[in-house]
Amino acid sequence: MAEAIGLVVLFPLLGFLAIALLGNSLSEKGAAYLACAAVGFAFLSALASVPAVYDPKDVFLYTWTQAGNWKFSFGLLADPLSVFMCLIVTGVGFLIHLYSIGYMTGEHGEPEADYRRFFAYMNLFVFSMLLLVTSNNFIFLLVGWAGVGLSSFLLIGFYKDKPSAVKAARKALVMNTIGDVGLLLGIFVIILNTGAVNYYHAFRGAEFASDGGWRDIASILLLIAAVAKSAQLPLHTWLPDAMEGPTPVSALIHAATMVTAGVYLITRAHPIFAYSEVALIAIPVIGAASAFYAATCAIIQTDIKRVLAYSTMSQLGYMFMAAGAGAYEAAMFHLLTHAFFKALLFLSAGAVIHAIGGEQGIRNMGGLGKQLPLARWTFLIGALAISGIPVFSGFFSKEAIFAAFPLFGGKEAQVGFGLNETGHIILGWVALLVAVMTAAYMFRLYFLVFSGPKAKSYQTHESPLTMKLPLMVLGALSVVGGFVYVPGAYNLLEKWFEKAHEYVQTTPTRWLIIPYETIEWTNLIGAVGAAIIGWFIAYGIFGRAERVAPSDEVKGFAAFLQNGWYLDKLYYAVVATPVVWVSKLLTKQADKDVAEALDWGIGGSLWASSKLIRKTETGYVRNYALGILVGAVALLAYVLVAAIQR
Amino acid sequence: MSDFPLLSLIIFLPLLGALLLLVLRLPQKASYWLSVVWSLVVFVIAVGLLLNFADGSTSGFAFTEKLEWLKPLGMNYQVAVDSISAWLIALTAFVSLVAAFSAREIQGRHNYFRAWLLTLETGILGVFAATNLLNFYVFWEVMLIPAYFLIGRWGITRERVKSAIRFVIYTLVGSLLMLVAMLALAFLTVPAGGQPSLDLLVLKERIGGLDRSTQEWLFLAFAAAFAVKVPLFPLQAWQPDAYAESPTPVTIVLAGVMSKTGTYGFLRFGIFLFPTASQTFAPLICILALASIIYGALAALGQTDLKRLLAYSSLSHTGFIVLGLFALNNQGINGAVLQMINHGITTPALFLAATALSNRTGTTELAGMAGLQSRMPRLAALFLILSLASLGLPGLNQFAGEFLILGGAWQASTWYAVIGAVGVVLAAWYSIRLFQLIWHGPRAENESPALAKVLDMRPVEYLVFVPLVALIVLLGLAPALVTSIFDGSVSTLLK
């Protein structure tokens, strides 16, 4: 039932409004249950809308704006892609909400400060993401897009008295706004070339557009948005800092909502991206570069959540690679399994942090496996899944991505242009290298946290059931979640996504289907081998008794990696600092009454050169203005006299 | 009914109220309620006027009234509205009502204050309704006198007289140039054996007879007056002081609607009256508009005073309106008119919220505020919504305007839209900086002791802010409610 998609969006919105408006008249636990129920019902509604997968349609339309020949409507779209995303967002989102009930409760069962506010923001976050994925047009995609940015700002800065959280929140919002603006401008290009913002009409228009050059511009602008939201190079620096929020927020940002939006956008707008040569080269290259960059940074971080943050960026790099190569189905598949195992990893990490009283530095952990068996096993499952060890979910989805990048060639550019064979080979090997590094940094983290000697002894306390249950469910999903596609056997995704490309296009599509008939043994052995090599490296250095201890104070190359190649510092130096400097200068000048002189153009330069002028500057401008006044009156008199004489 | 001077009633009703206040000399409370009820009546009638255009089918002038005055010079009293001016009249009545409502306690001669405020309303309403040039000019100057006294006598600090004088000088210079141009226009366009006319529609017919450079000079003289009023970079020096110095009821009228008389002037007496010259100068004005956007945003980013920051933010936003106008296409102008209305709602709301805050903290200096969210969570939430509206969050009202403006600008030149977009990013930056400085972070060390027992929002404040926020959300979700009404007028105007 396609209309059920409306309920999917509505429930979290109502949850947010109810918690926000009822305020103190709602008990703290009541707010939490309400928030969970809202997302839970949204999930049920998403299940109810599954039939729309085979019969996509637009529902709930009204005119949003009208100006000349621009007349755009709001509407929701129920189609394979939107239902797929809704199921992930509400499903994983629900588990994270449930987990938050326990996590945001202190040691003695007392709710943390601003408990209600937290749940209101969480529902707002889920609502924004759902609007983003269900909108049937680019404008409300942007509304959801910005809503997600706003919610992340609110949640990253949730510990509002902490200066670092405040700063991280602001950075996230400003960088996301850069993406929003890219999307906005991209929308203009689409409107002017197809006359529509509605996906269906825009993509149909794109298909029949005579000159396709505009697709390059539109793709680049949309890509700016995707890169900012999915924390890919070069707009990624907000993501590591986003760890300032509570851990469930990180899980929500990294698994169910927010960062996946970029991959969604590229997949959604594939009729535009897939016909732009620039995009077909830029997206996989950005993806591979981000995957590699983030892996190098992850390997040396000493904060448990920062490792996971960089690993998200790295995994999203894989998704970008796939989407850029036309393997949208593989990208969405990895998005699905990643949602499971990344949520699992964050929530397990959260269980550790919660149990040992908020400590996040891994040098203060170690040997926690015995005290926290559930967290240990679920974290291990997550690590195995992300590394791509067979039968765990990540194995299948990585396999699907690697299939698009054969290591020894044999694959021409899929769509006739874009990356050539060599390009595919190079990116394939980069992906393989990243796979080694992924296994290495994940197991480094696992060994340093759960095994080996204890750095400190903690009085751990038992996690409540609301935290345990989501861990178990996500653990199970991380194991079996990949079985929607089995190489050599079957591919359920093909059927699911059939209408995603047929709905919008009549000509043969550039949507690559994950091949399942034959097994690509070279890729399969390569990928599994990479994961095992990574594990051995981690075991060799960190897994044995006399292991290398992590340190915060690193120098040289290690410091370079730990600080994210100093890109953040570079941006501050090149962009933020000059802007702030100029604004301070303007403020100073304007406040010192000099604007007056500057505004008249002449006074300003005189003022700058001489302090004498400054003393008389006010009078000077007045005289000047008076001169104009007298002149104007004289002119007026002249015109009147001239008129009367006529 | 068609002979009933509805428009004149709306325009002069506030003036009548002002006279009544001066004659009756009521005590503070009675004069407050009289002015509120009076403004409410004006607002209701103005909405009634607007409803006549609700189906969006009327695209030309209606409700025309004409009284002959100085026939040989073509000077008549002549008012009429189309769906654009009907909206702006309703907006003016709305903002004036909010202003009257917020002017609860006035220090000093309160009857005079409220009388001047109502007179200012008459001036602004007249500007939006005048279709005779001289008539327009008279209303234009009528705005100046009350504004001068309101800033100069009831301003907040001792700098107020200086601010008021600066405001007057800037405005007078612009408006005298406009007066010269009006008269020149009337006499230069007299057809052989005909009469000079100052009627807007007659002049529109005759303007083609002038040679190009004359048209351009006349346009520039008009533009000077409008650019000062908006204000447009580099003529903005009067603005931050005037906004920051004025008591809040005055600030919201200045920022909310008086700035729109400038943008409206650009539209009606610039683009409509001088289509050729507008084309010629569009690039120049767009560049000045972009300069306003960026200059205002950068200056706002560095401010340490709440009201001055909002003043600069307003400068940046009115820059967007001018940019949309001089994109000279349907989308840009629709967006600009929509943004006049949006900005007329958001900016007064922001200044009111800022005042609600500074009344509690006892300062407008940002340095004295930090981490206030736990003290006043509701006011913080309100402030957040307003900041988000102001930074153009998609889904709230200002985005709808910016969307059309930048869409129009993109068609005029890609670079206009790209630079405008930089302004959008800066807006996010300074708005969020402002929000966080006040509400987040560790509490300020030099926090005012008054804050210890400060109260969150009071019921009377909800009465003002709930309708404002409702409008902000509604116009964000369905801007077509507004644009569909004046879309036809914009097309007519561009023809």
* Closest-approach residue (CA) in chain A for B187: A643
| Residue A576 touches chain B, beta carbons under 8 Å | no
Give the three-class secondary structure for A172: helix
φ/ψ (deg, to 5) at A550 = -70, 150
Mean pLDDT, rounded, for B196-216: 85
Residues 15-54 of A with CB under 8 A from B: 20, 23
- Asked if the Cβ–Cβ distance from B330 to A173 is below 8 Å, we say no
pLDDT in tens, B297-356: 988 888 888 888 898 999 999 999 999 999 999 899 999 999 999 999 999 999 999 888
Q: B458 — phi, psi (to 5°)?
A: -100, 160
**Cβ distance of B407 and A188 shorter than 8 Å:** yes
Residues 234-253 (B) with a CB less than 8 A from some CB of A: 234-237, 240
Is B166 within 8 Å of A596 when comparing Cβ atoms? yes
Which residues in chain B have Cβ-Cβ distances shorter than 8 Å to A635? 180
Q: Which residue of B has its CA nearest to A630?
A: B173
Q: Given A64, A145, A639, which is nearest B180 (Cβ)?
A: A639
Q: A593 in the Ramachandran plot: left (φ > 0), alpha (ψ -120 to 50) or beta?
A: left
Average per-residue pLDDT in chain A?
81
3-state secondary structure labels for all residues of A414-478:
CCCCCCCHHHHHHHHHHHHHHHHHHHHHHHHHHHHHHCCCCCCCCCCCCCCHHHHHHHHHHHHHH
Using a CB-CB cut-off of 8 Å, the residues of chain A touching B299 are 583, 586-587, 590
For residue A327, report the phi and psi dihedrals to the nearest 5 degrees: -90, 65
| Domain map (residue ranges) of chain B | 1-273, 277-495
Which residue has tokens 């926690």?
A: A368
Alpha carbon of B36: minimum distance to chain A alpha carbons (Å): 29
Interchain proximity A150–B187, CB inside 8 Å: no
Secondary structure (3-state) at A75: strand
pTM of the model: 0.88
Cα B197 from Cα B185, distance rounded (Å): 9
Kindly report the nearest CA distance between residue A52 and chain B, in angstroms: 26
**Are residues B169 and A150, on separate chains, in Cβ contact within 8 Å?**
no
Q: Which of A146, A166, A588 sits opposite B440 (nearest CB)?
A: A166
Which residue in chain A has the smallest CA separation from B426?
Answer: A174
- Per-residue pLDDT at A613: 38
- Chain A residue with the nearest C-alpha to that of B235: A599
Which chain B residue lies closest to A634 (C-alpha atoms)? Answer: B180
Query: Is it the case that residue B44 has pLDDT exceeding 60?
Result: yes
B191 and chain A in contact, CB less than 8 A: no
Summarize pLDDT for A157-181 with one digit per residue, the tens. Answer: 888 888 888 888 888 888 888 899 9
User: Is A606 exposed, middle or buried (CB count within 10 Å of its CB: 0-12, 13-18, 19+)?
Assistant: middle
Q: Which amino acid is at A421?
A: E
Do A586 and B302 make contact, defined as CB atoms within 8 angstroms? yes
Task: Indicate which of A71, A73, A177 best probes the interface with B, i.e. most B CBs within 10 Å of its own CB.
Answer: A177
Mean pLDDT calculated for residue range B123-136 = 90
Partner-chain contact A163 B441, CB within 8 Å:
yes
On whether the CB atoms of residues A374 and A387 are closer than 8 A, the answer is no
The residue of A25, A65, A152, A636 whose CB has the most chain B CBs within 10 angstroms, and thus the best one to mutate to test that interface, is A65
pLDDT digits (tens, 9 = 90+) for A525-571: 888 888 888 888 888 887 776 666 666 677 777 777 777 788 878 88
pLDDT in tens, A440-482: 899 888 888 888 777 777 777 777 888 888 888 988 989 888 8
ipTM of the complex in this document = 0.88
Average pLDDT, chain B: 87
A153 CB within 8 Å of a chain B CB: yes
Confidence of residue A416 (pLDDT cuts 50, 70, 90): low
Residue B63 is inside which H or E element, if any? strand B62-70
Choose the closest CB to B177 out of A67, A632, A640.
A632
Interchain contact A143–B (C-beta under 8 A): yes
How many angstroms separate the CA atoms of B426 and B436, rounded? 15
Are B408 and B329 contacting, i.e. CB atoms less than 8 angstroms apart?
Answer: yes
Interface residue of B410, B430, B437, B466 to substitute, partner A, most A CBs within 10 Å:
B410
State the nearest Cα–Cα gap between A255 and chain B, in angstroms.
24
More confident residue, B134 or A602: B134
Measured distance CA(A389)–CA(A368) in Å, rounded: 24
B chain contacts of residue A645, beta-carbon cutoff 8 Å: none
Closest to B410 (Cβ–Cβ): which among A146, A174, A188? A188
Q: What are the tens digits of pLDDT across the range A585-596? A: 777 766 455 445
Within A159-276, residue ranges assigned H as helices are: 163-194, 199-208, 214-229, 238-241, 247-251, 260-268, 270-273
**pLDDT surpasses 80 at B18:** yes
**Counting one residue from A and one from B, how many pairs have CB atoms under 8 Å apart?**
187
- Is there a contact between B410 and A628 if contact means CB atoms under 8 Å apart? no
pLDDT for res B212: 87
